Amino acid sequence: MELSDLEMAHLKRLARLELSREETAALQKDLSDILGYFDQLRGLDTGGVEELVRPITTVDVFREDVIRLSLPHEKAMSLAVEAQEGFFRVPRTVEEA
């Protein structure tokens, strides 16, 4: 299964990845190989096999509804690339009305 250039461009866009021509070509080949592997799996008769979403069998992990201390504000903001007035500052996301 060969990943097309168009699909590759779409994936790069979805993942917000900026890749050089060489990197793109290498990744395109790797992803195509992986898809080829899945094609191989698709050829198997899995009619009687139950769907396995996760490789672990754990179920029902819950926490009780208890409020715990949040991070101190300075600590949360210490990760910010840009901050202002206690907010995270990001490139503008809407146009001026």
| 14 near other proteins, rule: CB under 8 A | yes
| 9 near other proteins, rule: CB under 8 A | no
Select 16 or 42, whichever has its Cβ closest to other proteins: 16
Element (H, E) at 35: helix 21-42
Closest-CA residue to 73 (of 59, 83, 60): 83
Is residue 84 helix, strand or coil? strand
Phi, psi of 39 (to 5 degrees): -60, -40
d(CA 72, CA 4): 48
| 18 near other proteins, rule: CB under 8 A | no
**Which of 22, 43, 63, 81 touches other proteins (CB under 8 A)?**
63
**Contact flags string 75-94 toward other proteins, x per CB under 8 A:** -xx-x--x-xxxxxxxxxxx
Q: Where on the chain is the footprint of other proteins (CB under 8 A)?
A: 10, 14, 16, 53-54, 56, 58-71, 73, 76-77, 79, 82, 84-94, 96
